[in-house]
């Protein structure tokens, strides 16, 4: 790999000005309205919260190594899993891919100079950060023990944790998410370059568009719900308190109206990334472009009709259960369409096993498995047994960790040369992809078995017969943790020592690869004109040959 | 190390069969996709750096096929799952009545004859058991993995569910809905016993006063009897023979007097008034404990002739006997 | 180059942000953005409307009785005030589209005044509720002859009207900012988007009240 | 106006007309609230409210003169609000459907 000498040879003569070195100083970052710099700010922010969530996870797995609750007090353990859920869901998963990759790429991909509302974009980041730090502040002052779901009346009456502060933190971050979605939606509608019709838009943009729909329509409901929880705690309003005639199940309806679609806020962007990776590394137009694009929007819409499958045993009516069950199955169809189309894209391609593709293939496998186990949860008769057990925990980690994080890391590896202008060491990145894949499966596969055996989730202590599987899970988590540390190291390393990346190191199509790496502040020297379909490798090849 | 839980209830085999089907589907598609992805990746690996593969045109037929096949499969899953669900949610007639109260962090169980248990539940095999459950504080969930049985116990109302144990033994009882600090300590055992052993267990131990008798006492304490008196011109409707009957409400609607309706009539009396009675009953919400409510309801049930063959579906009853607080 | 594009279109107007092609595109984006924001606001209030619908269905008598304890005269007066303020707001937008600086200021000031009247009446109503112990919480006294769940009605009443009033306060702040800009002569026939956007917001707040008024003040009156 | 003719605005007369109509509808809804209309009190009150909201949106907010996309956005908000309310309420309305009183 490279040495400092490499940098010395290439830096002196004509230093090219790009968005990273156009201006210097802390203020030039903290007050920036450049979408690319804001993406970097998000990268720092979500990595920070991911690390905190990861520490929580490590402590949870440590406690569960042995059956009795012998490492932490029950109270502490409850705060650990709550902190893990809150940090990961609200401050890593939801802002993650949209904040980092969406911000960086949407204007580049559609040939725009920036998002529609650059200052609003910066405000989103500050809201995200303030929300996250508020939630963290609650943790420092004693933590919350309600679980990330804040079920009433426990959260409103019985918990002595810092529920109000945490709820306010999530509320603030919710507005960050709303404003990001709003910004992206307007950007995609009004800022596309000449010739960039909807059917010429990269699938990443379609995925972000679908995500924006959910962010806009869903997030306000959870915002008001958490506000009501906070108000109820402070003023004893009784809206969700049965002692005053309120109904706790109403809270669940309102909460899941957002929080189920929120799962798709997390996974749709990852799917969007995978669509880009699969086509780039098989050098072929994506199979079924229109179906993948349409399925993203279909998922966004259908995701709002299924929330009641979280409540099959909660005392919801049997008939509501039936309706929610069948609608939940319907979401599986567009997801299946995506998986089949990705697979078909590889067929007769020119497949190159570079790191981003390894992540993409990992995503396809894990998402398929996670999605199929999701069918078990939509099946009424079966869900009664497995809900609120480790089966659920395993299922949603397959989607969120196996899906979203694989997609996020795959995308980060794919666009890192564009973001940083540097190449990371290919050997180590492949190693980390494998370590993560193996560690992940070892962590979460045993939890399916545990769940069907009946181990309930959020248990601090558990019967001895569940220990072997729990030890496997903890061992896997250690491997997974190491897998996540490796990229952290070499990404930092590459910023200083990595080889300079060319403008288009993967030989991919897409406007973002037609501008220098890293891009100049205004993205494109000349506003690009789009003349053809996306992922048109044949034409791209001919143009290269002619030019 | 066990990999599969015991099957000890009448619906466990049905749930497991469904699970087996879903495992088969999951395994088939995971392997299919996994095999295709890996074999394509190997078969079509990049052989030269500048290689550009031929364009494979999308096929509408193929898209249709892989839309319709999953659709068919999920419909099978839906109907099968719904069938099992109905089996689980519809209690049979002639079940043993057991009353459960969940509170942080214990399960309190009352049998009809006055037997009380804490974090333990004794039931006979081969006979349906119907649980009427209430929570004194937060949401709990009564979960017996070996029975594939789970039901949230939501404060402010009754959660009614049933199971039938099929195999004698001792099984885990868990609280499955997070309920606070000692959530993982809210556990216990369910003992499924042969009928003879169960009778022996019932006859042993001090069985206190029966649940209905305790309810009758509360009926006096709360002065319910001053209005709900068995005489003409009483201010409230008679409760004798009420349970399971169809009640005519003000405004022309009807309702079946089940546990939920009785509970509502005590905690929120104005909600559904019986025809011909003024809205004078005060609410008892917060004045009677959950256990007390269960006792009152057991008492009101005892005023109706058992067995429940009579408690047929809500067919419009010909007699218009006003019956309601 | 970006500069070349501007050169072709004549001089670049000072209000044009660098990343838009022209003012028309910029305005289109602002307008869509504002509408989408209002979409989120609809769902924000929607959560509480859902709670209202569920509990009103469960506790009809309590809700009707408690609703009749609200002062219908004040409610109706406030409805009229808010509708009038919507008119003055619409006129301010109209004045802005004509670039008439003084009229903009007059109409915006009238809107602020009407908003303040609305909030003043709200303060009177709230203080009456405090005096009568009809504010939910430990000091709540169940009104005579009503079911206990009347408290739920007042919980929702305070949440819904409180959140609405908060939106009014924000709106008044935005209007004040507009007045300052209008006096500076920022708004011309060519560029008046901020007035239009704040106008949309103000009308939305009016629409919320148009639903709150019957739901909270009127639905029990026929039982009197 | 923003220069070209693509965004027409209502006339001043339309504004005042809408204002007068809104006031009249407010009076009407107050009057109707005191009438004994049986089950129709609520639907009448809500219909009047919807009419008023539509007038404000279409004329005061220029929705009538806005691009189709704006109307789609508003329609989406209303549709999603309907999803939230209708499905949630349907749970409450169907809870008593399963007779579980058997003993």
Q: What is the 3-state secondary structure (H, E, C) of B181-250?
A: CCHHHCCEEEEEECHHHHHHHHHCCCCCCCHHHHHHHHHHHCCHHHCCCCCCCCCCCCCCCCCCCEEEEC
CA atoms within 13 A on the CB side of A283: 24
User: Does residue B180 or residue A3 have the better pLDDT?
Assistant: B180
- In this predicted model, what pLDDT tens digit does every residue of B23-66 receive, in sequence order? 999 999 999 999 999 999 999 998 888 888 888 887 889 999 99
pTM comes to 0.91
Residue numbers in A near C151 (CB within 8 A): 238, 244-245
What's the pLDDT at D98?
58
- Structural domain of residue A51, as residue ranges? 44-546
Flag whether residue C53 sits within 8 Å of chain D, measured between CB atoms.
yes
Residue numbers in B near A545 (CB within 8 A): none
- In this predicted model, what pLDDT tens digit does every residue of B73-115 receive, in sequence order? 999 999 999 999 988 888 788 889 899 999 999 999 988 888 8
> B211-310: which CATH architecture?
Orthogonal Bundle (1.10)
| Cβ-based neighbour number of residue B234 at 10 Å | 14
Instruction: Name beta bridge partners: B274.
Output: B249
Left (φ > 0), alpha (ψ -120 to 50) or beta: where does A354 sit?
beta
Give the residue from chain C lying closest to A181, CA to CA.
C36
How much is the mean pLDDT over chain B? 85
CB within 8 Å of A413: residues ≥ 6 apart:
A355, A356, A359, A424, A429, A487
Put simply, the answer to whether A116 touches C33 (Cβ < 8 Å) is yes
Flag whether residue C61 sits within 8 Å of chain B, measured between CB atoms.
yes
Residue numbers in B near A380 (CB within 8 A): 78, 81-82, 84-85
pLDDT band at residue B269, thresholds of 50, 70 and 90?
confident
Put simply, the answer to whether B93 touches D102 (Cβ < 8 Å) is yes
User: Does residue C222 or residue A5 have the better pLDDT?
Assistant: C222
Residue numbers in B near A322 (CB within 8 A): 82, 85
Q: Name chain B's partners: 3 or more CB pairs within 8 A.
A: A, C, D
Query: Domains in chain C: how many in total?
Result: 1
Put simply, the answer to whether A289 touches B58 (Cβ < 8 Å) is yes
Flag whether residue D25 sits within 8 Å of chain C, measured between CB atoms.
no
pLDDT band at residue D19, thresholds of 50, 70 and 90?
very high
Q: From CA B66, how far away is CA B32, in angstroms rounded?
A: 13
* B312 pLDDT higher than 90: no
Sign of CA dihedral B258, B262, B263, B268: positive
A208-217, C135-144, C159-168: which range is least confident on average? C135-144
Put simply, the answer to whether C58 touches D92 (Cβ < 8 Å) is yes
Q: Determine what percent of chain C is predicted with pLDDT higher than 70.
A: 95
- Structural domain of residue D66, as residue ranges? 12-97
Flag whether residue A284 sits within 8 Å of chain B, measured between CB atoms.
yes
Put simply, the answer to whether A320 touches D87 (Cβ < 8 Å) is yes
Put simply, the answer to whether C207 touches D78 (Cβ < 8 Å) is no
Residue numbers in C near D69 (CB within 8 A): 32
What's the pLDDT at D103?
33
Q: From CA D2, how far away is CA A361, in angstroms rounded?
A: 51
- Whether A3 is covered by a domain: the verdict is no
Residue numbers in A near C136 (CB within 8 A): 235-238, 244
- Structural domain of residue C91, as residue ranges? 27-223
Put simply, the answer to whether A320 touches D98 (Cβ < 8 Å) is no
Residue numbers in A near B22 (CB within 8 A): 372, 375-376, 379, 382
Of B37, B150, B174, the CB nearest to A343: B37
What's the token pair of residue A202?
């990269």
User: Using an 8 Å Cβ cutoff, are A366 and A406 in contact?
Assistant: yes
Put simply, the answer to whether B314 touches D102 (Cβ < 8 Å) is no
pLDDT band at residue B295, thresholds of 50, 70 and 90?
confident
What's the pLDDT at D97?
66
Q: Determine what percent of chain B is predicted with pLDDT higher than 70.
A: 92
What's the pLDDT at B271?
75
Beta carbon pairs, B and C, within 8 Å: 17
What is the CATH number that goes with domain B1-40+59-208?
2.60.40.420
Q: From CA B275, how far away is CA A379, in angstroms rounded?
A: 42
Of B255, B261, B308, the CB nearest to D102: B308
CA atoms within 13 A on the CB side of A265: 30
Q: Determine what percent of chain A is predicted with pLDDT higher than 90.
A: 85
User: Averaged over B130-152, what is the pLDDT?
Assistant: 94
Torsions phi, psi of A171, nearest 5? -55, -45
Q: Nearest Cα to C47, choosing from A230, A299, A217?
A: A217
How much is the mean pLDDT over chain A? 92
Query: Domains in chain D: how many in total?
Result: 1
Flag whether residue A231 sits within 8 Å of chain C, measured between CB atoms.
yes
Give the residue from chain B lying closest to A149, CA to CA.
B178
- In this predicted model, what pLDDT tens digit does every residue of C30-53 receive, in sequence order? 999 999 999 999 999 999 999 999
Instruction: Name beta bridge partners: B190.
Output: B121, B171
User: Using an 8 Å Cβ cutoff, are C2 and C18 in contact?
Assistant: yes
pLDDT band at residue B309, thresholds of 50, 70 and 90?
very low
User: Averaged over A228-246, what is the pLDDT?
Assistant: 89
What's the pLDDT at A10?
46
- Whether D6 is covered by a domain: the verdict is no
What's the pLDDT at C44?
96
User: Averaged over C4-24, what is the pLDDT?
Assistant: 68
Enumerate the H helices of D1-103 as residue ranges. Answer: 12-33, 41-55, 68-94
Q: From CA A149, how far away is CA A226, in angstroms rounded?
A: 10
Q: In what order do the strands lie in the sheet with B96-103?
A: B116-118, B106-111, B96-103, B128-135, B159-164
Flag whether residue A361 sits within 8 Å of chain C, measured between CB atoms.
no
Sign of CA dihedral A292, A296, A301, A307: positive
A42-51, A164-173, B247-256, C39-48: which range is least confident on average? B247-256
Put simply, the answer to whether D87 touches A305 (Cβ < 8 Å) is yes
Put simply, the answer to whether D69 touches A316 (Cβ < 8 Å) is no
Q: From CA C146, how far away is CA C155, in angstroms rounded?
A: 15
- In this predicted model, what pLDDT tens digit does every residue of D64-80 receive, in sequence order? 988 999 999 999 999 99
Interface test with B, best of C54, C59, C61, C152 (most B CBs within 10 A): C61
C-alpha pair distances (Å), A520 with each of A91, A115, A117, A499, A517? 29, 15, 19, 19, 8
* B319 pLDDT higher than 80: no
What's the token pair of residue A115?
């998002």
User: Averaged over A495-523, what is the pLDDT?
Assistant: 92
Beta carbon pairs, C and D, within 8 Å: 137
User: Does residue A30 or residue B281 have the better pLDDT?
Assistant: A30
User: Using an 8 Å Cβ cutoff, are C91 and D15 in contact?
Assistant: yes
What's the pLDDT at A109?
96
* B311 pLDDT higher than 60: no
Q: Name chain C's partners: 3 or more CB pairs within 8 A.
A: A, B, D
Please state the separation of Cα A387 from the chain's center in Å. Answer: 23
* A493 pLDDT higher than 90: yes
Flag whether residue D91 sits within 8 Å of chain A, measured between CB atoms.
yes
Q: What ipTM was reported for this prediction?
A: 0.89
Query: Domains in chain A: how many in total?
Result: 1
- In this predicted model, what pLDDT tens digit does every residue of B167-215 receive, in sequence order? 999 999 999 999 999 999 999 999 999 999 999 888 876 667 788 888 8
Q: Determine what percent of chain B is predicted with pLDDT higher than 90.
A: 45
What's the token pair of residue A412?
């980060």
| Cβ-based neighbour number of residue B34 at 10 Å | 16
- In this predicted model, what pLDDT tens digit does every residue of D20-31 receive, in sequence order? 999 999 999 999
Helix H or strand E encompassing B128: strand B128-135
Q: From CA C64, how far away is CA C218, in angstroms rounded?
A: 9
User: Using an 8 Å Cβ cutoff, are B304 and B244 in contact?
Assistant: yes
Q: What SS3 state is found at A351?
A: strand
For helices A406-420 and A35-63, the axis angle rounded to 10 degrees is: 140
Q: Name chain A's partners: 3 or more CB pairs within 8 A.
A: B, C, D
Please state the separation of Cα B216 from the chain's center in Å. Answer: 26
Of C25, C58, C155, the CB nearest to A239: C155
For helices A118-140 and A74-88, the axis angle rounded to 10 degrees is: 170
Put simply, the answer to whether A257 touches D94 (Cβ < 8 Å) is no
Q: From CA A225, how far away is CA A167, in angstroms rounded?
A: 9
Q: Within the 289-328 window of chain A, which residues sit less than 8 Å (CB to CB) from chain B?
A: 289-291, 312-315, 318, 321-322, 325-326
What's the pLDDT at A544?
56
Torsions phi, psi of C135, nearest 5? -95, 125
Put simply, the answer to whether B271 touches C148 (Cβ < 8 Å) is no
CA atoms within 13 A on the CB side of B172: 24
Burial of B309 (C-beta count, 10 Å sphere; 0-12/13-18/19+): exposed
User: Using an 8 Å Cβ cutoff, are A150 and A258 in contact?
Assistant: no
Put simply, the answer to whether D101 touches B257 (Cβ < 8 Å) is yes
Q: Determine what percent of chain A is predicted with pLDDT higher than 70.
A: 96
Put simply, the answer to whether C137 touches A235 (Cβ < 8 Å) is yes
CATH number assigned to the domain comprising residue C180: 1.20.120.80
What's the pLDDT at A279?
94
C-alpha pair distances (Å), C127 with each of C114, C123, C131, C133, C216? 20, 6, 6, 10, 17
Put simply, the answer to whether A221 touches C2 (Cβ < 8 Å) is no
CA atoms within 13 A on the CB side of A396: 20
Give the residue from chain C lying closest to D27, CA to CA.
C76
* B321 pLDDT higher than 50: no
Q: Which residue do the tokens 């901020």 mark?
A: C194
Residues in chain A: 547
- Whether A451 is covered by a domain: the verdict is yes
Residue numbers in C near D41 (CB within 8 A): 219, 222
Distance (Å) from the alpha carbon of D103 to chain C's nearest alpha carbon: 27
Flag whether residue C49 sits within 8 Å of chain A, measured between CB atoms.
no
What's the token pair of residue A353?
């096993």
Put simply, the answer to whether A186 touches C29 (Cβ < 8 Å) is yes
Beta carbon pairs, A and D, within 8 Å: 44
CA atoms within 13 A on the CB side of A104: 27
- Whether A375 is covered by a domain: the verdict is yes
pLDDT band at residue C138, thresholds of 50, 70 and 90?
confident
User: Does residue C200 or residue B114 have the better pLDDT?
Assistant: C200
Flag whether residue D103 sits within 8 Å of chain A, measured between CB atoms.
no
Put simply, the answer to whether D19 touches C83 (Cβ < 8 Å) is yes
Put simply, the answer to whether D83 touches A304 (Cβ < 8 Å) is yes
Distance (Å) from the alpha carbon of A200 to chain B's nearest alpha carbon: 16
Q: Where are the domains of chain B?
A: 1-40+59-208, 211-310
- Whether A4 is covered by a domain: the verdict is no
Put simply, the answer to whether A462 touches B184 (Cβ < 8 Å) is yes
pLDDT band at residue B238, thresholds of 50, 70 and 90?
confident
């Amino acid at each position: 790999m490279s040495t400092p000498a490499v940098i010395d040879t290439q830096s002196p003569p004509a230093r090219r000005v790009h968005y990273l070195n156009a201006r210097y100083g802390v203020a030039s970052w903290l007050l920036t309205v450049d979408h690319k710099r804001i993406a970097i700010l998000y990268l720092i922010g979500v990595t920070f919260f991911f690390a905190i969530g990861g520490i929580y996870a490590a402590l949870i797995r440590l406690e569960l190594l042995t059956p009795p609750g012998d490492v932490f007090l029950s109270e502490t353990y409850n705060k650990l899993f709550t902190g893990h859920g809150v940090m990961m869901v609200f401050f890593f998963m939801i802002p993650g891919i949209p904040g980092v990759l969406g911000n960086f790429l949407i204007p580049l991909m559609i040939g725009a100079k920036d998002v529609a509302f650059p200052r609003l974009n910066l405000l989103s980041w500050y809201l995200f950060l303030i929300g996250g730090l508020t939630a963290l502040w609650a943790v420092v002052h004693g933590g919350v023990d309600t679980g990330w779901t804040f079920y009433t009346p426990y959260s409103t009456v019985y918990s002595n944790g810092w529920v109000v502060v945490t709820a306010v933190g999530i509320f603030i971050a919710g507005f960050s998410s709303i404003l990001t979605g709003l910004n992206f939606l307007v950007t995609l509608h009004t800022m596309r370059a000449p010739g960039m019709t909807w059917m010429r838009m990269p699938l990443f943009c379609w995925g972000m568009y679908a995500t924006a729909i959910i962010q806009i329509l869903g997030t306000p409901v959870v915002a008001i719900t958490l506000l009501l929880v906070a108000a109820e705690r402070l003023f004893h309003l009784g809206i969700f308190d049965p002692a005053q005639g309120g109904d706790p199940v109403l809270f669940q309806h309102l909460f899941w109206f957002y929080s189920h679609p929120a799962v798709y806020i997390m996974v749709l962007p990852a799917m969007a990334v995978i669509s880009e990776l699969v086509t780039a590394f098989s050098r072929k137009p994506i199979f079924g472009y229109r179906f993948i694009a349409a399925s993203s929007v279909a998922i966004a819409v259908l995701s709002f009709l299924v929330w009641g499958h979280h409540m099959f045993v909660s005392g919801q009516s049997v008939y509501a259960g039936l309706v929610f069950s069948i609608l939940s199955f319907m979401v599986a169809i567009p997801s299946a369409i995506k998986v089949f189309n990705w697979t078909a894209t590889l067929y007769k391609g020119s497949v190159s096993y570079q790191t981003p593709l390894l992540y993409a293939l990992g995503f396809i496998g894990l998402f398929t498995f996670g999605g199929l186990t999701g069918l078990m949860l939509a099946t009424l008769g079966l869900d009664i047994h497995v809900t609120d057990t480790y089966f659920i925990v395993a299922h949603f980690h397959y989607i969120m960790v196996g899906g979203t994080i694989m997609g996020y890391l795959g995308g980060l590896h794919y666009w890192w040369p564009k973001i940083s202008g540097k190449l990371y060491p290919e050997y180590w990145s492949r190693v980390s992809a494998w370590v993560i894949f193996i560690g992940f499966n070892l962590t979460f596969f045993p939890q399916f078995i545990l769940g069907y055996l009946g181990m309930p989730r959020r248990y601090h202590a558990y019967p001895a017969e569940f220990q072997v599987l729990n030890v496997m899970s903890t061992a896997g988590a250690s491997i997974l943790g190491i897998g996540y540390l490796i990229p952290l190291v070499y990404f930092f390393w590459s910023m200083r020592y990595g080889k300079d990346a060319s403008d288009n190191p993967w030989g991919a199509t897409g406007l973002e690869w037609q501008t220098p790496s890293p891009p100049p502040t205004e993205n494109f020297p000349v506003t690009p004109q789009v003349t053809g379909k996306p992922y048109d490798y044949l034409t791209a090849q001919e143009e290269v040959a002619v030019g | 190390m066990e990999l599969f839980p015991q099957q000890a209830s009448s619906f466990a085999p049905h749930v497991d069969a469904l699970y087996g089907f879903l495992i088969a589907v999951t395994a088939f598609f995971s392997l299919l996709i996994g095999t295709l992805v890996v074999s394509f990746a190997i078969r079509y690996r990049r052989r030269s750096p500048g290689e550009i593969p031929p364009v494979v045109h999308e096929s509408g037929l193929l898209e249709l096929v892989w839309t319709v096949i999953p659709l068919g499969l999920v419909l099978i899953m839906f109907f099968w799952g719904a069938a099992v669900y109905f089996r689980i949610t519809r209690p049979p007639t002639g079940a043993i009545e057991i009353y459960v109260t969940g509170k942080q962090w214990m399960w309190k169980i009352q049998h009809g004859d006055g037997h009380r248990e804490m974090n333990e539940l004794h039931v006979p095999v081969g006979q349906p058991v119907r649980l009427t459950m209430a929570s004194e504080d937060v949401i709990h969930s009564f979960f017996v993995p070996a029975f594939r049985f789970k039901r949230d116990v939501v404060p402010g109302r009754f959660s009614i569910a049933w199971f039938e144990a099929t195999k004698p033994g001792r099984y885990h009882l868990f609280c499955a809905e997070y309920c606070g600090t000692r959530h993982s300590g809210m556990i216990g055992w369910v003992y499924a016993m042969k009928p003879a052993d169960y009778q022996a267990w019932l006859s042993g131990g001090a069985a206190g006063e029966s649940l209905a008798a305790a309810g009758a006492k509360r009926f006096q304490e709360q002065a319910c009897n001053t209005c709900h008196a068995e005489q003409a011109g009483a201010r409230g409707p008679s409760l004798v023979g009420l349970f399971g009957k169809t009640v005519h409400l003000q405004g022309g609607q009807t309702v079946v007097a089940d546990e939920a309706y009785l509970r509502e009539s005590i905690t929120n009396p104005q909600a559904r008034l019986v025809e011909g009675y003024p809205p004078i009953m005060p609410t008892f919400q917060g004045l009677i404990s959950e256990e007390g409510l269960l006792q009152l309801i057991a008492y009101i049930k005892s005023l109706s002739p058992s067995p429940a063959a009579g408690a047929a579906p809500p067919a419009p009853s010909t007699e218009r006997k006003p019956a309601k607080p | 180059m970006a500069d070349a594009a501007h050169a072709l279109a004549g001089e670049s107007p000072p209000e044009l942000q660098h990343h838009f092609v022209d003012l028309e595109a910029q305005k289109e984006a602002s307008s869509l953005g504002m509408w989408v924001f209002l979409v989120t606001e609809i769902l924000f209030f929607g959560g509480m409307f859902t709670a209202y619908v569920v509990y009103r269905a469960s506790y009809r008598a309590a809700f009707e009785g408690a609703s009749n304890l609200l002062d219908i005269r004040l409610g109706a007066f406030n409805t009229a005030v808010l509708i009038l303020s919507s008119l003055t707001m619409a006129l301010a937008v109209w004045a802005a589209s004509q670039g008439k600086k003084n009229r903009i200021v007059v109409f915006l000031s009238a809107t602020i005044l009407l908003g303040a009247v609305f909030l003043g009446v709200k303060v009177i109503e709230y203080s009456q509720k405090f005096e009568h112990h009809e504010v939910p919480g430990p000091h709540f006294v169940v009104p005579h002859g009503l079911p206990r769940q009347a408290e739920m009605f007042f919980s929702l009443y305070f949440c819904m009207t409180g959140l609405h009033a908060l939106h009014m306060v924000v709106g008044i702040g935005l209007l004040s900012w507009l007045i300052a800009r209008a006096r500076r002569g920022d708004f011309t026939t060519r560029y008046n988007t901020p007035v239009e956007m704040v106008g949309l917001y103000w009308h939305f707040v009016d629409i919320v009240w148009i639903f709150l008024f019957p739901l909270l003040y009127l639905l029990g009156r026929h039982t009197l | 106006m923003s220069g070209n003719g693509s965004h027409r605005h209502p006339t001043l007369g339309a504004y005042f007309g809408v204002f007068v109509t809104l006031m009249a509808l407010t009076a009407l809804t107050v009057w109707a609230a005191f009438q004994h209309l049986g089950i129709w009190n609520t639907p009448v009150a809500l219909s009047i409210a919807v009419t008023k909201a539509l007038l404000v949106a279409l004329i005061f907010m220029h929705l009538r003169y806005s691009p189709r996309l704006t109307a789609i956005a508003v329609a989406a908000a209303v549709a999603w609000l309907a999803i939230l309310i209708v499905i949630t309420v349907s749970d409450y309305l169907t809870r008593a459907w399963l007779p579980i009183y058997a003993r």
